[in-house]
């Protein structure tokens, strides 16, 4: 079986997925839609697919699955429409910035029986997967404490920040998902601290740029998350998982890993410049997993529920940071 | 000038200091006191000093300074006595487990004008000092976020735990001091989470064995601390300090740093077995600093005030972990 | 301009090049030839090109360049034929196992004005390139001493060894080329030692499996090469270049770079399993360089001359190892 | 039993040994001799021993063992004198620069039954010992190939070079001994290349500053040695031993092992500045081994024979480098 794809949104991340689909022997890119004609044309030209409207893709008999890379505000609506159209759906995170809207959207997905995968790309990084595999194989025993370090090279434009939902929902959400991927137990309470240390304009926009979070599960497992919108040395992405028998860790990846020693010491070049180069393999593996899930009828993960849980942690963290208290996730989910 | 020392307490850490004093050309070990005659005799035999009672050392004209390595409950009393006796005082941490008692003790120290240094040995580790020097030299810009990882190879005996004051006052206190050493600003709020994951008997004794802490200063600087009473791979002691221009970090030290690669991969031996081997250089540098402070009349640090501040952070962390709220340090200090 | 390619030989390395050509926007795979019809059909099916005979490709007006991945014994003949046919030629190493035959072949190339690139893939590895760039930028000063470590995970089949020309011409030749790439000066003398330590059958076949080489240039620069047909821990590929101001080194690359620490120490997984996974990026960059050379009319390197010089070093090494003397390269080249 | 020591020569290395002797509970420094009265006085003052002449120490009933740290030209004579005087002897390398003189000296040692240890300090480095232990425990299988990298931060004064016997006998000799320590089999042939790349004045003095060596044993085991009198990044001391089952390696040691990452990449400070700081632990362990050998009546290693074998390799390397041929060690030893 070949999975026939429609691509919704031909921006930067859309093109990453178009490439992955085209390179996969079990998939074919059939059509692309984008509000900007030249963006759609670029993808169509490079990968030899049709340019169609979203409506045309929705009704197309030759499209089995869609990849949603449009702006965040359209995600939930598009998921509902394509769920009803009987397509398999891959949607970039987040489903929506409002937990209530996500909940409604997932009800439609459930009612239609649609298959939905949410784009938490880091779960597909080969190094992080190897850490998870080490846990699953029992090499570190029972998981006790997780540390996730995630620092962006620099802050996004203020216009982006304004519509991002804030650092917890935009950036830390990846770490919340990674924490759930590694902890092996749902988070019960959240403690967070948030500051503006990088750029005062971010604070003026009502957001933070530097945050620390402690997650705690019912059995007492803990996860520490450290985030900053600044890392002069490149895109800093590390995890370490301590268990009863040992620790498994994934260090930073480097585009060029030479070392030069001289009178001033030993020097290695900076890390990757950002997620597009750091997570190249992860993006390809993510789409391959989605395709395999469709062709083999296997469960698809991370699911819409995973998207909702990560968002709930983000909401809880924001409350903790602003109200100065430990927040139970159940409080957020029950609203 | 040669500083003439009296050693109070000839246990494990007392012997470490006896060795450091004897090896220092500017110091001489004159007398040792210990409730156990054979412990005192062992030190006296090895380093050629007198065995005396605490009272005799208190009144001795040939003793300029004392090193207090007796049980914690005696520290505050001994500090007061030797402050009144006009001796320079080096006291192992903590001054006392009660913040109120520490405050009273420090009033006596201040009133007598005595010189008091508290034994936070990690400040003297050459690697951690180099991190601090990098900060002072401006190499990482303004400090923003600090991460401290501190994991013991295994828990102490339950009897020790019972009188330890709990993990925050006994173990995390070293990290609280390190946080203050590195943050460059006093901590304003504390958030902590604490669990029993290593040994249920520790929980039954009313203590925790796994804790996570977020410290936050007035300007928004943050410090993450991760502690566990278990680390199968050895004594895990790491710090990293993120600033506006970069990050300075000190990785773990190893007694033997070979690597063996075979069909099962690359293998390096475990870390140091505990603080006595990991901080050998730090203990020597600590006493050398105390001696230099006396002979040169320089300020001695860490001071009694440093000891009190670290204890206040421990008290705040305990409240945060048990009451589920963010705790202001001022609340603890004002009690 | 789009470079239209004919692929001669559709085996393992041929398919690597087919993939690289197909992925390059400036190139197109037009035809494939292989003695095995199913090998040719597999490439034709996957990349949508014609299946043709070598003769048909030789005379084809729609083919600008060929990639020669046929058995070694055919290389020189094919280079001559396609040089005369006016095609640009990329040929896998070696041009031939006989220095005299290589010399004759290169005369034809020169006479026809054909463009010839020889497949020393390691020059295109991003890490090794970065070492070379560091040299070119003057970061380590004048090159003095180079160390190249190259160890295969395991020996090839004996049948392969029998027709390989021996370890110096088959395996070390990559290191000889790398030495020339890094030394910045031609080699004048060669000293080599060769043993059979891995498999006696290799010795019975007249070859060696473990060799050490010292290369020396006229000005006294030195290069140490260490080779083995055995490395239980994966494909070991390292270089370090010492210069007057410092050293630049490229460490091993790993497919998965996690670390697991436990009571038995710190463990990292083995290295890549062999060159196909280790040099994925290098193979792609190599063909891209060839394509760019054609479209931009730039010089193409490594050239046939580079192929001949590396072979001369291999011949000299074999003489040194078997005759127990230091061999001048001029002696070999003048035969 | 307490071993009573006489120290011959109170220069830099003599003071290192004086400190080690004084710190060892099973030894006592009784007397020191030095041609410079103030050098002897400094040691006597610091460690509380007598100042005596060499003759007085030779005849002293209260001296069991001597440590010879006088100039190289006096070593063989002093060894013979103290062997005849019935003292145990620790002598800094080399016994002599002439193989014939060494041979004669060792005959006297043998005839008197004296115990002689030669100061190849690197055998006592804890990291190199751990590599050797890994070999002895069978963790890497049969040893096949050894690589030793040894680079000095900078060249010694020309006056020193003039009387050093040349780089092979002065510097590489440590690597020759390490090769013998690790190869597990005597060396049969030597190939060497030598250049002047660091300082032309060294060449004018008849010496080299950059050398490469291949050693080969009867069974074909190989050892590569790389030496330079220049390493801008500090004292470079590495070994790696490849065996049939894997590789054991010891990387460089660092006085301060922090890392600072910034926009210019990741930076670690330089290595140790030279052998006095790099091999601190080795020097202490070396003397402790000598003392234990005496008190326990155990075999003492490295022996005079080890000193002679390493010198033979140096002589062979010099012949190889200057005559351009592979040299058999038997040829040198039989002269």
Complex-level ipTM: 0.95
What separation in angstroms does the CA of C323 have from each of A80, B153, C319, D191? 79, 58, 6, 12
Which of A266-270, A306-310, B295-299, D273-277 is predicted least confidently? B295-299
CA distance A6 to A57: 6
DSSP single-letter state for residue A285: H
Judged by DSSP in three states, A243 sits in: strand
Tell me, what's the pLDDT at C22? 87
Tell me, what's the pLDDT at C52? 98
List, as ranges, residues 64-123 from D with C-beta within 8 Å of C.
Answer: none
Interface contact A325, partner B, CB < 8 A: yes
User: Where residue A321 falls among pLDDT bands split at 50, 70, 90?
Assistant: very high
The shortest CB-CB distance from C269 to any of B265, B268, B270 is to B265
Once rounded to an integer, what is the mean pLDDT over residues A273-296? 94
Q: Is residue A289 part of a domain?
A: no
CA distance D265 to A254: 11
Q: Is the pLDDT of residue C23 over 90?
A: no
The percentage of chain C sitting over the pLDDT mark of 90, rounded to a whole number, equals: 95
User: Where residue B22 falls among pLDDT bands split at 50, 70, 90?
Assistant: confident
Q: Chain B: residue nearest C271 by CA?
A: B265
The shortest CB-CB distance from A214 to any of B214, B228, B233 is to B214
CA angle A98, A101, A105 (to 5 degrees): 140
Q: Is residue A305 part of a domain?
A: no
Average pLDDT of chain D, as a whole number:
96
What is the number of residues in chain A?
Answer: 335
In tens, the pLDDT along A203-254 reads 999 999 999 999 999 999 999 999 999 999 999 999 999 999 999 999 999 9
CA distance A104 to A334: 14
Cβ of D226 within 8 Å of Cβ of C147? The answer is yes
| CA distance, residue B99 to nearest chain A CA (Å) | 24
Cβ of D214 within 8 Å of Cβ of C214? The answer is yes
Best B233, B235, B251, B273 member to test C by mutation, with max C CBs in 10 Å, is: B233
CA distance D79 to D289: 19
Q: Is residue B27 part of a domain?
A: yes
CA distance B294 to B8: 18
Reported as type and span, the H/E element at residue D76 is: helix D72-84
pTM for the full predicted model: 0.96
User: Where residue D335 falls among pLDDT bands split at 50, 70, 90?
Assistant: confident
In tens, the pLDDT along A91-123 reads 999 999 999 999 999 999 999 999 999 999 999
| Cβ atoms of residues A124 and A149 within 8 Å | no
Q: A175 to chain B: which residues are within 8 Å by CB?
A: none
Once rounded to an integer, what is the mean pLDDT over residues D42-64? 94
Interface contact D210, partner C, CB < 8 A: yes
The percentage of chain A sitting over the pLDDT mark of 90, rounded to a whole number, equals: 95
Residues B129 and B276 in one domain: yes
Q: Which of A86, A114, A142 is the last residue before a domain boundary?
A: A114
In tens, the pLDDT along D19-41 reads 999 888 899 999 999 999 999 99
Tokens of B331: 């609340």
The shortest CB-CB distance from C247 to any of D210, D233, D326 is to D233
Interface contact B324, partner C, CB < 8 A: no
Contacts of A234 (CB under 8 A, 6+ apart): A153, A252, A270, A271, A272, A273
Residues A104 and A145 in one domain: no
Q: Is the pLDDT of residue D86 over 90?
A: yes
| Cβ atoms of residues D324 and C326 within 8 Å | yes
Tell me, what's the pLDDT at A324? 95
Torsions phi, psi for B269 (to 5 deg): -65, 160
Q: Is the pLDDT of residue D303 over 80?
A: yes
User: Where residue B47 falls among pLDDT bands split at 50, 70, 90?
Assistant: confident
CA distance A212 to A219: 21
Closest C-alpha to C168, from C324, C13, C322, C330: C322
Judged by DSSP in three states, A156 sits in: coil
Q: A232 to chain D: which residues are within 8 Å by CB?
A: 261-263
| Cβ atoms of residues B135 and D258 within 8 Å | no
For C303, how many CA atoms within 13 A lie in the half-sphere containing its CB? 12
Tell me, what's the pLDDT at B195? 98
Torsions phi, psi for A188 (to 5 deg): -105, -40
Residues A127 and A64 in one domain: no
Q: Is residue C192 part of a domain?
A: yes
Q: Which of C96, C114, C132 is the last residue before a domain boundary?
A: C114
Interface contact A147, partner B, CB < 8 A: yes
Q: C262 to chain B: which residues are within 8 Å by CB?
A: 232-233
Residues D271 and D132 in one domain: yes
Q: Is the pLDDT of residue A1 over 80?
A: no
Best B257, B282, B284 member to test D by mutation, with max D CBs in 10 Å, is: B257
The shortest CB-CB distance from C324 to any of D231, D244, D326 is to D326
H and E: helices and strands count for chain C: 14, 15
Tell me, what's the pLDDT at B142? 98
Once rounded to an integer, what is the mean pLDDT over residues D289-314? 95
The shortest CB-CB distance from B233 to any of A224, A246, A325 is to A246
User: Where residue B303 falls among pLDDT bands split at 50, 70, 90?
Assistant: very high
Q: Is the pLDDT of residue C47 over 90?
A: no
Once rounded to an integer, what is the mean pLDDT over residues D135-155? 98
Q: C256 to chain B: which residues are within 8 Å by CB?
A: none
In tens, the pLDDT along C2-15 reads 999 999 999 999 99
Tell me, what's the pLDDT at B187? 98
User: Distance of alpha carbon A64 from its chain centroid, rounded?
Assistant: 23
Closest C-alpha to D75, from D190, D163, D188, D137: D163
Domain limits for position A14: 3-114
| Cβ atoms of residues A171 and A227 within 8 Å | yes
CA distance D213 to D190: 7
| CA distance, residue B12 to nearest chain A CA (Å) | 28
| Cβ atoms of residues A52 and A60 within 8 Å | yes
| CA distance, residue B196 to nearest chain A CA (Å) | 7
CA distance C25 to B115: 75
The shortest CB-CB distance from C260 to any of A46, A246, A269 is to A246
In tens, the pLDDT along C185-194 reads 999 999 999 9
Once rounded to an integer, what is the mean pLDDT over residues C295-310? 93
Closest C-alpha to A176, from A250, A123, A129, A228: A123
Best A145, A147, A265, A320 member to test B by mutation, with max B CBs in 10 Å, is: A145
| CA distance, residue C187 to nearest chain D CA (Å) | 13
* Bond from prior residue into D302 cis (ω within 30 degrees of 0): yes
Residues A149 and A207 in one domain: yes
Through-space distance between the first and last CA atoms of chain D, rounded to whole angstroms: 43
| Cβ atoms of residues C210 and C203 within 8 Å | no
CA distance A313 to A303: 16
CA distance B109 to B308: 13
| Cβ atoms of residues A168 and A212 within 8 Å | no
The shortest CB-CB distance from B233 to any of C232, C265, C270 is to C265
The percentage of chain B sitting over the pLDDT mark of 90, rounded to a whole number, equals: 95
Q: Chain C: residue nearest A281 by CA?
A: C255
In tens, the pLDDT along A166-192 reads 999 999 999 999 999 999 999 999 999
Tell me, what's the pLDDT at A46? 85
Residues B128 and B33 in one domain: no
Residues D139 and D92 in one domain: no
The shortest CB-CB distance from B197 to any of A210, A220, A231 is to A220
| CA distance, residue B70 to nearest chain D CA (Å) | 27
Q: Kindly report the CATH number assigned to the domain that includes residue B90.
A: 3.40.50.720
| Cβ atoms of residues D105 and D79 within 8 Å | yes
Judged by DSSP in three states, D301 sits in: coil
Reported as type and span, the H/E element at residue C72 is: helix C72-84
Closest C-alpha to A257, from A239, A275, A270: A270
Torsions phi, psi for A147 (to 5 deg): -125, 125
Q: Is residue D188 part of a domain?
A: yes
Average pLDDT of chain C, as a whole number:
96
Tell me, what's the pLDDT at D27? 93
Burial code of C227-260, b = ≥16 C-beta within 10 A, e = fewer?
Answer: bbbbbbbbbbbbbbbbbebbbbbbebbbbbbbbb
Q: Is the pLDDT of residue A314 over 90?
A: yes
Residues A110 and A127 in one domain: no
Q: Which of A66, A81, A114 is the last residue before a domain boundary?
A: A114
Tell me, what's the pLDDT at D230? 97
The shortest CB-CB distance from B245 to any of D130, D140, D262 is to D262
Contacts of B19 (CB under 8 A, 6+ apart): B47
| CA distance, residue B137 to nearest chain D CA (Å) | 12
What is the number of residues in chain C?
Answer: 335
DSSP single-letter state for residue D302: S
Cβ of D144 within 8 Å of Cβ of C210? The answer is yes
* Sign, Cα dihedral of B111, B114, B119, B124: positive
Closest C-alpha to C162, from C207, C199, C195: C207
Count of C-beta atoms within a 10 Å radius of residue C209: 25
Average pLDDT of chain A, as a whole number:
96
CA angle C270, C272, C276 (to 5 degrees): 165
Count of C-beta atoms within a 10 Å radius of residue A84: 14
Judged by DSSP in three states, C157 sits in: coil
CA-only gyration radius of chain A, Å: 20
List, as ranges, residues 257-316 from C with C-beta within 8 Å of B.
Answer: 261-270
Sort residue C256 into left (φ over 0), alpha (ψ -120 to 50) or beta. Answer: beta
Residue labelled with tokens 């640090």: B301
CA distance B178 to B176: 5
| Cβ atoms of residues D145 and D178 within 8 Å | no
Cβ of A246 within 8 Å of Cβ of C257? The answer is no
Residues D32 and D144 in one domain: no
Q: Kindly report the CATH number assigned to the domain that includes residue C194.
A: 3.30.360.10
Q: B222 to chain A: which residues are within 8 Å by CB?
A: 193, 195, 210-212, 226
Tell me, what's the pLDDT at B305? 97
Residues B137 and B217 in one domain: yes
Cβ of D260 within 8 Å of Cβ of B246? The answer is yes
Q: Is residue D305 part of a domain?
A: no
Q: Is residue C291 part of a domain?
A: no
Tell me, what's the pLDDT at C97? 96
Q: Is residue D218 part of a domain?
A: yes
CA distance D78 to D108: 11
Residues C127 and C102 in one domain: no
The percentage of chain B sitting over the pLDDT mark of 70, rounded to a whole number, equals: 100
Number of folded domains in chain B? 2
Q: Is the pLDDT of residue D1 over 90?
A: no
Q: A154 to chain D: which residues are within 8 Å by CB?
A: none
Q: C216 to chain D: which residues are within 8 Å by CB?
A: 193, 195, 212
Contacts of C45 (CB under 8 A, 6+ apart): none
Q: A230 to chain D: which residues are within 8 Å by CB?
A: none
Residues C84 and C216 in one domain: no
Q: Chain B: residue nearest D253 by CA?
A: B257
Once rounded to an integer, what is the mean pLDDT over residues D189-194? 98
In tens, the pLDDT along C185-236 reads 999 999 999 999 999 999 999 999 999 999 999 999 999 999 999 999 999 9
């Amino acid at each position: 079986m070949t999975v026939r794809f429609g691509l919704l949104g031909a921006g930067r991340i859309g093109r990453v997925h178009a490439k992955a689909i085209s390179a996969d022997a079990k998939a074919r890119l059939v059509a692309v839609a984008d509000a900007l004609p030249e963006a759609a044309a670029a993808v169509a030209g490079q990968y030899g697919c049709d340019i169609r409207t979203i409506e045309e893709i929705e009704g197309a008999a030759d499209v089995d699955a869609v990849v949603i890379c449009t702006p965040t505000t359209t995600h939930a609506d598009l998921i509902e429409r394509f769920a009803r159209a009987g397509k398999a759906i891959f949607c970039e995170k987040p489903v929506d910035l409002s937990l209530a809207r996500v909940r409604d959207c997932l009800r439609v997905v459930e009612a239609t029986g649609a298959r939905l995968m949410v784009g938490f790309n880091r779960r597909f990084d080969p190094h992080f997967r190897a850490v998870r595999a080490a846990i699953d194989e029992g090499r570190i025993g029972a998981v006790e404490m997780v540390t996730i370090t995630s620092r962006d090279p620099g802050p996004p434009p203020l216009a982006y920040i304004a519509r991002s939902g804030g650092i917890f929902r935009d950036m830390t959400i990846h770490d919340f998902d990674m924490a759930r991927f590694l902890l092996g137990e749902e988070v019960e309470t959240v403690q967070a601290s948030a500051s503006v240390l990088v750029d005062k304009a971010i604070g003026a926009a009502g957001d933070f740029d530097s945050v620390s979070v402690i997650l705690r599960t019912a059995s007492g497992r803990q996860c520490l998350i450290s985030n900053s919108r600044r890392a002069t040395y490149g895109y800093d992405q590390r995890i370490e998982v301590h268990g009863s028998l040992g620790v498994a860790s994934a260090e930073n990846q480097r585009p060029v890993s030479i070392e030069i020693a001289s009178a001033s010491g030993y020097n290695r070049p900076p890390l990757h410049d950002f997620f597009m180069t750091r997570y190249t393999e992860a993006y390809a593996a993510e789409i391959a997993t989605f395709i395999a899930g469709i062709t083999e009828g296997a469960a698809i993960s991370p699911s819409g529920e995973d998207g909702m849980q990560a968002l709930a942690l983000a909401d809880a963290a924001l409350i903790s940071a602003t109200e100065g208290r430990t927040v139970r996730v159940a409080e957020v989910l029950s609203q």
